[in-house]
Amino acid sequence: MVEAGVKTALAARVESLEGCEVKAGAPLAPLTSVRAGGAAEALVRPRSPDALVALLKLAREEGVPVSILGGGANTLVGDGGVPGLTLKLPGDLFPEVADVGPEEGRLTLGAGAAIVRLVNVMRANALVGAEFLAGIPGTLGGAVAMNAGTKNGEAFRVIDAVEVATADGVGWLTKAQVPHAYRHAELPPGGVVTRVRFALRKGDVVASKAVMDADLGYRKRTQPLSQPNFGSVFTNPPGDHAGRLIELAGLKGYSLGRAQVSTLHANWIVNLGGATARDVLGLITFMQVRVLETSGVDMKPEVKRLGDFL
């Protein structure tokens, strides 16, 4: 079990690397949107691509596990904490690049930047096409890793290329070189997304803003955005909606410990204050069992788990 504030030999070795900010025993609950879970053995923020590659090389040579923490929007950290290295890329690790022509444009942003940053840069350059990403929490790297989206589109619809770091260096992959599907992208083993290039088009920015405003208004009315949460807990099964099946199972508002199935949207779990990862994971499992019993559907969680679960 990783203890908060305890400095290990691993953290000391990472501190010796140039260009790395290290915090031993760092509590991770405040860095996740559901606000639950334990600490990182070593939370590391690399300040350059070279520092990131050096970290990944150290991890490979010493057999140290590496976990990636983006915006923490769809992540559950175990109560036992996260052993090894937990990487969090700074949002300003890379400069933003806008290559805009008369009819289209390509925007390149760092993977540690918030998704909303893409929306803002898109608007500033009179581009459109990524409206469906507005309002989704988390980072651009996380959006790549889980092919984030809504009913109106998914990230890889507007992704042109992805830069990935491994222990052997940094390189670009085209969209076609990254197999992807609903809420999933297959990155190189041990790879960390560092930058993302988006292909967008010139268009009516006023209409684009209206679409995003309408979507955000709908989200505020139908989702518990004021409470700690994951966003959607389960992927939608083919031809159906996870929220409908959970509500049909009579679980809307059901609680386990301090974790609750939202009374506003059944496919969201909220932290009522003081929920443990054990509470949350137990509730997820219970929801799966009940929906399987009532509807015969095996629900697939889209929440990423990190660390040790007690």
- Same domain assignment for residues 72 and 123: no
pLDDT (average), residues 165-190: 95
Please state, in angstroms and rounded to a whole number, the distance separating the CA atoms of residues 32 and 96: 25
- In this predicted structure, the answer to whether residue 224 has a pLDDT above a threshold of 90 is yes
Hey, what are 295's tokens?
A: 């509807």
Looking at 173, 208, 243, the residue that finishes a domain is: 208
Q: Tell me, yes or no, whether 214 lies in a domain.
A: no
Q: What is the CATH number of the domain that holds 165?
A: 3.30.465.10
Please check whether residue 40 is in contact with residue 25, taking contact to mean a CB–CB distance below 8 angstroms.
yes
Domain holding 23, by residue range, is 1-87
CB atoms within 10 A of CB 273: 9
Q: Tell me, yes or no, whether 153 lies in a domain.
A: yes
Domain tally, the chain? 3
> Dihedrals φ, ψ of 181, to 5°?
-150, -170
- Same domain assignment for residues 260 and 203: no
- For 70-96, letters b (16+ CB in 10 Å) and e give bbbbbbbbbbbbbbbbbbbbebebbee
Q: Closest Cα partner for 291 from 252, 257, 248?
A: 248
pLDDT (average), residues 238-243: 95
CA-angle at 6, arms to 2 and 9, nearest 5°: 90
State the pLDDT confidence band at 5, using cuts at 50, 70 and 90.
low
Please state, in angstroms and rounded to a whole number, the distance separating the CA atoms of residues 252 and 274: 20
- Same domain assignment for residues 186 and 113: yes
Beta strand 180-181 with 184-185 is antiparallel
Please check whether residue 147 is in contact with residue 227, taking contact to mean a CB–CB distance below 8 angstroms.
no
Which of 4-13, 136-145, 279-288 shows the lowest per-residue confidence on average (mean pLDDT)?
Answer: 4-13
pLDDT (average), residues 137-163: 94
DSSP state for residue 35 in the 8-state scheme: -
pLDDT in tens, 77-97: 999 999 999 999 999 999 999
302 is catalytic: yes
pLDDT (average), residues 164-193: 95
Give residue 35's pLDDT. 97
Q: Which is the catalytic residue, given 33, 67, 232, 262?
A: 232
Looking at 163, 178, 208, the residue that finishes a domain is: 208
Please state, in angstroms and rounded to a whole number, the distance separating the CA atoms of residues 111 and 225: 24
Q: What is the CATH number of the domain that holds 235?
A: 3.90.78.10
Q: Tell me, yes or no, whether 171 lies in a domain.
A: yes
Give residue 6's pLDDT. 66
Q: Tell me, yes or no, whether 82 lies in a domain.
A: yes
Q: Tell me, yes or no, whether 213 lies in a domain.
A: no
Hey, what are 87's tokens?
A: 């990487």
Q: Tell me, yes or no, whether 147 lies in a domain.
A: yes
183 is catalytic: yes
pLDDT in tens, 106-134: 999 999 999 999 999 999 999 999 999 99
Please state, in angstroms and rounded to a whole number, the distance separating the CA atoms of residues 28 and 96: 28
Q: Which is the catalytic residue, given 41, 131, 163, 302?
A: 302
Q: Which is the catalytic residue, given 67, 131, 154, 183?
A: 183
Looking at 59, 87, 115, the residue that finishes a domain is: 87
- In this predicted structure, the answer to whether residue 67 has a pLDDT above a threshold of 90 is yes
Q: Which residues contact 46 (CB under 8 A, 6 or more apart)?
A: 19, 20, 21, 52, 55, 87, 89, 90, 93
State the pLDDT confidence band at 10, using cuts at 50, 70 and 90.
confident
pTM over 0.75: yes
